[in-house]
Amino acid sequence: MSGIIEAFRNLPGGHKSGLKVEYTSVTSVTIQAGICRDSTDSVDIELAGTKVVAITTLGAANGLDTGAEAALTLYYVHIISKDDGTTDGLLSLSRTNPTKPSGYTAFRHIGHVVNSGTSNFIDFVTEGLGRDVRYHYREGTLSTRVLSAGSATDFTAVDCSAFVPDNARTADLMIFVINSTSDVFTLITLRPDSNTATPRTLFQTDKTANTLRSFTTANMPLSVTQTLDYKVGNSNNAAILEIASMTLEL
């Protein structure tokens, strides 16, 4: 592998190949081998093997850059390197400005992981080895819920930033609606936050009472603050929204 990597020194701007971030355990992720340009397009960063990065390691390489572990928090995963070629991983609250350990001079954001409300990493799987990566949460109901029993009949903002990083502009949502009466239809409408363009009415169903309606995942644009607006057809409707997946540009 090292001979192949050597042939591609001075990679094109923004290049990334490999460096896949994988779920390892409730406290760690693994960075697979690969190579990329750093965040300033100044140097190449190469990882020949794998690195396990743990939230329980504080203030050091292959751990959390600064501070203590926090529940219900999104952490960005970075590859970092020294001038002598030493390469490691790092977790940080910042995508663009992680606190690098002493001696490390370059970094590149390569993924993210979310710590749950019980301080356990939420299981995920990724697809893609280049800059565009599909990110899927693998845990079920409640793990990535951004709205529970929402009954607002006027457009109301929903904050998705706990599960959607700031380099994603759309998210795939799992949408559930329950109707408490048989007198009205079940209805939910979504739109990008504060977007006054034509709202996106996702579904209207029958008048069956007290039945949970599960619908196909819907892809929705988000605002720059990772929010969207929702409303239900009437106060007898209750909506649940969960983040299922997203496409990231790394």
Question: Both 178 and 121 in a single domain?
Answer: no
- List the one residue out of 151, 103, 144 whose CA is nearest residue 120: 144
The encoded tokens of residue 235 equal 């106060």
CB 76 within 8 A of CB 165: yes
Q: Using only C-alpha atoms, what is the Rg of the chain?
A: 21
Question: Both 15 and 132 in a single domain?
Answer: yes
Question: Both 130 and 176 in a single domain?
Answer: no
Q: Taking residues 55-72, what's their average pLDDT?
A: 97
Distance CA 153, CA 138 (A): 31
Question: Both 128 and 185 in a single domain?
Answer: no
Distance CA 74, CA 121 (A): 9
What are the tens digits of pLDDT across the range 125-142?
Answer: 999 999 999 999 997 657
Question: Both 122 and 175 in a single domain?
Answer: no
pLDDT greater than 80 at residue 65: yes
pLDDT greater than 70 at residue 212: no
Question: Both 88 and 202 in a single domain?
Answer: no
- For the chain, give the mean pLDDT: 87
The count of domains in the chain is 2
Question: Both 9 and 124 in a single domain?
Answer: yes
When pLDDT is cut at 50, 70 and 90, the band that residue 204 belongs to is low
Question: Both 93 and 206 in a single domain?
Answer: no
What are the tens digits of pLDDT across the range 158-187?
Answer: 999 999 999 997 899 988 887 776 555 667
What range defines the domain where residue 194 resides? 145-249
The count of other CB atoms within 10 Å of the CB of residue 166 is: 16
Question: Both 27 and 130 in a single domain?
Answer: yes
